């Protein structure tokens, strides 16, 4: 449900450039959603979808991002979200298109007037697993653009909006979550570009947590282990065997809902004195053993 925002529909900033004074005008949505709003990237399937459903159950209205909004996955998510009494706004774009970020954020703000939590989840594996000595520049750039550059600049854009919104909304508790991977810390020689992207995103999470702590914006990293999704479907047999042999101390595949629960806990404010925290959701895969 939306309520009319009475006072602020424009703010003006004076900007100086080479001695000249410019006036920057910021147009805001004239509506402010009553419920908090969650933006989830990569929401049409797997982990992102489970996170979106968990946040809808926590009382958030949802903006769901994926490259394709016409997919079965997006339709399924829309139904689930609406069954939980939340609003659903699908947004189609490629997170690596940094030039699109401004318009996407503007569209979400036009629809809802606020963003309370961003879950930067969209990510891809390399199209082909190659030894690091055979890794191509093309694959490196694809993975780094989607998994690292896109989420970093998307978070930057939304953090700026949150910084402004916090003075406009009572009880505003802005949060940014980065979904990285155990691969931020574990080496896989046949998908180095993925590990490098996740290690970079892990540091991005730390730096955003540091910079935004004074702004009242909390930032967390969630590191999934081996999770049953489309991403791991093509290597399911390999991981079935490895998990059976004890690779994961808790001896099972992770489920997207395991990550949904972690993000739901963050969204409730259970970790409000722990900005920068890294949540390992990997069944103990993070334990280094001798």
Ligand X SMILES: NC(=O)c1ccc[n+]([C@@H]2O[C@H](COP(=O)([O-])OP(=O)(O)OC[C@H]3O[C@@H](n4cnc5c(N)ncnc54)[C@H](OP(=O)(O)O)[C@@H]3O)[C@@H](O)[C@H]2O)c1
Q: Does 121 bind ligand X (CB under 6 A)?
A: yes
Q: Which range, of 12-20, 27-35, 120-128, 156-164, touches ligand X by CB under 6 A?
A: 120-128
For residue 158, give every residue at least 6 positions away whose Cβ sits within 8 Å of its Cβ, in sequence order, or none: 39, 105, 115, 118, 176
Please count the residues of the chain.
290
Q: Which range, of 12-20, 23-31, 37-45, 110-118, touches ligand X by CB under 6 A?
A: 37-45
d(CA 54, CA 56): 6
Q: Does 45 bind ligand X (CB under 6 A)?
A: yes
Nearer Cβ to ligand X (28/115): 115
Nearer Cβ to ligand X (215/280): 280
Smallest gap from residue 42 Cβ to ligand X (A) = 3
Locus of tokens 């991981």: 239
- Measure Cα distances from 204 to 79, 83, 184, 199, 279 in Å: 33, 35, 12, 9, 15
Q: Are 40 and 86 in contact (CB under 8 A)?
A: no
Q: Does 124 bind ligand X (CB under 6 A)?
A: yes
Smallest gap from residue 31 Cβ to ligand X (A) = 26
Contacts from 73-76 at CB under 8 Å and sequence distance 24+?
73/44, 73/45, 73/49, 74/43, 74/44, 76/49
Q: Which range, of 19-27, 31-39, 42-50, 268-276, touches ligand X by CB under 6 A?
A: 42-50
Q: Does 205 bind ligand X (CB under 6 A)?
A: no
d(CA 263, CA 252): 20
Q: Which range, of 5-13, 45-53, 133-141, 169-177, touches ligand X by CB under 6 A?
A: 45-53
Site string for ligand X, 75-94 (x = CB under 6 A): -------------------x
Q: Does 139 bind ligand X (CB under 6 A)?
A: no
- Closest Cα to residue 169, out of 108, 116, 102? 116
Q: Where does this chain bind ligand X (CB under 6 A)? A: 41-48, 65-68, 71, 94-96, 121-124, 146, 179, 181, 224, 226-227, 229-232
């Amino acid at each position: 449900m939306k309520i009319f925002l009475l006072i602020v529909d424009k703010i003006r900033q004076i900007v100086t450039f080479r001695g000249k004074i410019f006036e920057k005008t910021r147009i805001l949505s004239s509506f402010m959603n009553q419920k908090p709003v969650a933006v989830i990237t990569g929401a049409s399937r797997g982990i992102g979808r489970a996170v979106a459903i968990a946040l809808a159950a926590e009382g958030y209205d949802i903006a769901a991002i994926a490259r394709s909004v016409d997919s079965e996955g997006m339709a399924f998510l829309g139904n689930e979200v609406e069954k939980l009494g939340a609003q659903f706004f699908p947004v189609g774009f490629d997170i690596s298109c940094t030039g699109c970020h401004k318009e996407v954020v503007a569209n979400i703000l036009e629809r809802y007037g606020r963003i309370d939590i961003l879950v930067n989840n969209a990510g891809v594996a390399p199209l082909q697993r190659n030894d690091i000595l055979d890794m191509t520049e093309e694959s490196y750039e694809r993975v780094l653009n989607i998994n690292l550059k896109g989420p970093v600049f998307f978070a930057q854009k939304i953090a700026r909006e949150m910084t402004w919104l916090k003075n406009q909304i009572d009880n505003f508790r802005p949060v940014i979550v980065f979904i990285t991977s155990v691969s931020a810390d574990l080496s896989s020689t046949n998908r180095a570009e993925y590990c490098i992207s996740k290690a970079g995103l892990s540091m991005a999470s730390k730096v955003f947590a540091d910079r935004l702590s004074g702004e009242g914006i909390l930032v967390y990293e969630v590191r999934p282990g081996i999770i049953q999704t489309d991403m791991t479907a093509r290597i399911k047999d390999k991981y079935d065997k490895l998990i059976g042999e004890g690779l994961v101390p808790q001896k099972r595949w992770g489920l997207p809902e395991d990550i949904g629960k972690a993000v739901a806990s963050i969204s409730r404010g259970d970790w409000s004195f722990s900005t920068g925290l890294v949540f390992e959701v990997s069944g103990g895969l993070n334990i280094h053993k001798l």
